Structure 1
C-alpha cells in the first residue's frame, strides 16, 4: 500500500512539472513579452504547488530509527566506563547487555591471556578479571557491550564477537577483520530545506561502543596478559 501511494505521488509531481513546463513554452512561443503579470502569477502558483506536493511527499518516505538515540548511547557508554573503573557491578549497568558467554574447564593456577589480531590492525581488549571463591575447576567469561548507534539507527548487533579458545593454561582471544558498514544518507531537497533549519550538507552522528570481557576465575588462579590486553583486576 505504501509503495502504491509513493508511486501515485511521483506521478502527480511529474504531471505538475510537465504542465508548468508546457505552459511556459506555450507562452514563450505565443508572445515574446511573456513575462507579464498573468505568466508570473502562474509560475508562482505552480512553484507553490510543487512545494506543497513535495512537503506532503516527504512524510510518505519510510524511515528507520531505533529507540536508542546517539546521545543516550553516549551517556550509557560513559556511565559504563565510570562504574567499571570504580569497581561497580558490571551486570547492573542500565543499557548494557552481554551478547556472548563462554565456560571452560580449568584446573591450573595460572591463566595466560593472549590475543591474535588481524594483519595491520590494533585492538586493545578490555578485560576485567574477578576472583570467585565459589568457582572450582572452571572459568566463566561474558562479553558486555554498550549500544553502537549511528544517526539514530542501532548497529550493535553488527559489532563482531571475538573467538575464545583455551588450551592448557593459555586463553587465546581471536579477532576477525573489522566489520565495514557503508552508509548512504538522504536529505530533503532545497524546496523543503529552504523553509526549515536543516542543513543542505550535514554530518552523521555516531556513538562509540565499549566492549568488555568479564572473566571470573577460581580464587587460587593468577592471571597475566600480553600487551594488547587492557587488564583490570578485582
Structure 2
C-alpha cells in the first residue's frame, strides 16, 4: 500500500507541473497578443445596440445620446420652420391690410370713371372774391358719411355770358366732417386786372370785371 501511494503522489505532482506549464504558456501568448478572447455574438449585438463607432477616430458615442441629439435638432428645425411660416403670414397680412386701407380711403380721379368715385361727394357751398383781395374764399360741403382729409379739384372761371376765361387745379389738405362745410383760401381769378366774383364787391366804374365759377371734384381722401 505504501508503494502505491508514493507512485500516485508522483503522478499528481507531474500532472500539476504540466498544468502550471500550460497555464504559463497561455498567459505568455495572451500577453504577447498572439491570442485573445472575442466577445460572443450576443455580447457584440448588445454593444452595437449601446454605442456608435465613428470611422474617423476612436470616439464612441452612446446611442441614447446620439438619438437625443438628433431629436433635439429635428425639434429646432421644426420650430424654425414654424417661425418662418408665421413671419411670412404676418408680412402677407400687413400687405393686405395696407392695400385694403389704401382702397378704402383713397378715392380715384373722376376722369377714370371709377365705380367707387362719387363726383358729388364734395360740392361748392360758397365762393367769395372781392376785387381788392388777391385770394378767394372757397367753401366745400362734405356730402359723404366719412371724414374727408384731402381734396383735389378744379375751379373753372366764366364771364357773365358763360364763356370760359380760365381754370385752376388745386389740392388741399383740409379736414371736413360728414355733412359739414369747410372754408379755405385759393388764389382769386384776375386780381391784377381788378376782377371779382359777381356776387362779391365789384370794382367801381368797371361792371364788366366780374366772373362766375364752377367747381369740379377730381379726387378726395377719407379716414
- TM-score (norm. length: structure 2): 0.24
Is the radius of gyration larger for structure 1 or structure 2? 2
Q: Which has the higher contact order (CA 8 A, sep 6+)?
A: 1
| Higher helix proportion (structure 1 or 2) | 2
Question: Which has more strand, going by share of residues?
Answer: 2
